[in-house]
Amino acid sequence: MPSSLWIQKARVIDPAAKRDAVGDVFIKDGVFVASLSAADKKRAKKIDGRGLVACPGLVDIHVHFREPGQTHKETIESGSRAGAAGGFTTVVCMPNTAPVADTAGTIQLIKDSIARTACIKVLPTGCITVGMKGEALAPIGSLKRAGVVAITDDGDCVQSNELMRRALEYARMFDLPVMDHCQDHSMTQGAVMNEGAMSTRLGLRGWPHAAEDLIVSRNVILSTYTGAHVHLQHISSRNSIEIIRRAKSRGIRVTAEATPHHIALTEGSLATYDTNFKMNPPLRTEEDRMAIIDGLRDGTLDILATDHAPHTDYEKDKEFDFAPNGILGLETALPVCLDILVRRSRFKLATVIDLMTRKPANLMKLNAGTLAAGAPADLCLFDPAEIWTYDAKAGFSKSSNSPWHGQKLTGRVKTTVVDGRVVFDRGRIVGR
C-alpha cells in the first residue's frame, strides 16, 4: 500500500482548526501533513473527494463489543468492522463482558484481541466495582496501569452514594473519568418503557424520569465534593438536562452525552411492541427529545455517542417485558444525526461533526479528532446527500437489532482511514 494518500477537492471540515472549505487532505506515513512533495504526489493513492465531506475519523466513547464471553452477539472484530463502515476510527468499549473487565488480566485479554482483530482503534474501560455488583471497589490503580481510559459500571449504576464517592476520589488520583449510567434501580424494577400515558395504554411498566434525575443530581453533588470528572451517559430526561445545565454554570466537572436514538425517536415508536425500540434509558416524550437537541445546541450535552448494543434475533424476539434493552448504532449514527440535527434542527454540519470527533476525543484525552499536521491520519469521507436503504441483516455487526432496518437514510460513509491506511472503502472492509 502506498505510504502517501491524497484526498482531492473534498469539502474539508476540521472543527479543531475551524476549517470548512473545499480543498485537499494529505497523508504520509500514517499522519496528516500540510502537503506532499512532487515525488510523493506522483506515488500517492489518490481519492476523488468531489461532492464528499472529509472530516476527522468519528470517535464514539460508548460501545459494547461483547468480547469476551458474549461473542454470539458481537466480537471486537465484527464491532470494529461495523465502526469502520460507520466512519468511526476510535471507539471506547464498555466493561460489561463475561467476565466483566474488573481485573488487569481481563483488560489484557481484551487488548490482545484488539491487537489481533480490530480494524479501528478500540480502547477498553474498566469496572468501578468488583463484578459490577456495586459492593466493593475494583482495583482502579491496576486497571489504569493495564490501559483503561475510564471506569464505569455502565448498565449497573452504582447505587451506594458512599461507594461512588470513594470511586470518584480514587479516579481523581489516577486521572480517570468516571462514566455513569444514571439509574436509581429502586424506581425501575420491572420497568420497560417511559412512564406516562403511553405506558398505561400499552399495559407496560413505566420508567420514571426521576430514576435518572436522582442519580444525575447525586453525581453532580459528588463531583462538587470530590473535584472528580463524572461523565453522564446517554441522558434522556429533560429534567436531567436542566440539572446538568445549572451544574455547568457553576463550573462543576460534569460532562454528558446524547445518543442518536434519543434525538430521533420517542415512546410513540413502541406502539407496536417492537423490541428493536426497547432500550435503556427508554425512549421518552417529544418534549424530552427536543430538550436533548436544545442541550446539544447550547453545550449542556457535550457529545454524541451511540451506545451500540448488539443482541441476537432470538434474544430480541420475545415478549416485550423479557427482551433485552439495546440497539445497534455504529453504522447508522452519522446519517441519523445528519437528518435530525442538520436537516431538521438547522445545526451547522461542522457543529455535528465536532460533537462526533474533536469533543469526544478531548473529553477522553485521546489523540484523535483533528486533521492537523502531525496528528494520526484517522479520517472519514462521506457523501452527505446519498440516499440509501439500511439493511441491518447485511451489515457488519453480528447482530441486526436496529430500529432503522429497512429504512431510507441520507448520508453515507464512503471511505474510512485509520493511521493512514484505508480500512473501509465503498461498502467493503479493506484488509485488516
> How high is the mean pLDDT of the chain?
97
Give the Cα separation of 186 and 373 in Å (integer).
Answer: 51
Per-residue pLDDT, 431: 72
pLDDT tens track for 54-69: 999 999 999 999 999 9
Find the catalytic residue in 14, 102, 307, 378: 307
Per-residue pLDDT, 3: 84
Q: How many residues does the chain have?
A: 432
* 307 annotated active-site: yes
Give the Cα separation of 31 and 375 in Å (integer).
Answer: 5
Cell of 251: 463550573
Q: Evaluate if residue 85 carries a pLDDT over 80.
A: yes
Cell of 138: 475494583
Q: Evaluate if residue 1 carries a pLDDT over 60.
A: no
pLDDT tens track for 278-310: 999 999 999 999 999 999 999 999 999 999 999
Q: Evaluate if residue 206 carries a pLDDT over 70.
A: yes
Q: Evaluate if residue 336 carries a pLDDT over 60.
A: yes
Give the Cα separation of 382 and 356 in Å (integer).
Answer: 14
Please check whether residue 54 is in contact with residue 372, taking contact to mean a CB–CB distance below 8 angstroms. Answer: no
Per-residue pLDDT, 297: 98
Element housing 46 (H / E): strand 45-48
Q: Evaluate if residue 211 carries a pLDDT over 60.
A: yes
CA angle in degrees (0–180, nearest 5) for 410-263-75: 75
Q: What average pLDDT does range 16-28 have in this prediction?
A: 98
φ, ψ dihedrals at 422, nearest 5° = -70, 120
Q: Evaluate if residue 158 carries a pLDDT over 80.
A: yes
Q: How confident is the model at residue 210 (pLDDT cuts 50, 70, 90)?
A: very high
> Among positive and negative, which fits the CA dihedral 30, 32, 37, 41?
positive
Q: How confident is the model at residue 350 (pLDDT cuts 50, 70, 90)?
A: very high
φ, ψ dihedrals at 194, nearest 5° = -60, 140
Q: How confident is the model at residue 195 (pLDDT cuts 50, 70, 90)?
A: very high
Q: Which domains does the chain have, with CATH numbers?
A: 4-53+376-398+407-429 (2.30.40.10), 57-363 (3.20.20.140)
11 CB neighbour count, 10 Å cutoff: 17
Per-residue pLDDT, 375: 98
Give Dmax (Cα) for the chain. 69
Q: How confident is the model at residue 410 (pLDDT cuts 50, 70, 90)?
A: very high
Q: Evaluate if residue 416 carries a pLDDT over 60.
A: yes
pLDDT tens track for 104-119: 999 999 999 999 999 9
**Quick one: what percent of the chain has pLDDT higher than 90?**
99
Q: Evaluate if residue 432 carries a pLDDT over 90.
A: no
Give the Cα separation of 380 and 100 in Å (integer).
Answer: 32
408 CB neighbour count, 10 Å cutoff: 10
Beta strands in 192-285 (DSSP E): 193-194, 206-207, 230-232, 254-258
For residue 169, how far is the Cα from the chain centroid?
26
pTM of the predicted model as reported, rounded to 2 decimal places: 0.98
Burial 280-314, CB ≥16 within 10 A → b, else e: bbbbbbeebbebbbebbeeebbbbbbbbbbbbbee
Q: Evaluate if residue 382 carries a pLDDT over 70.
A: yes
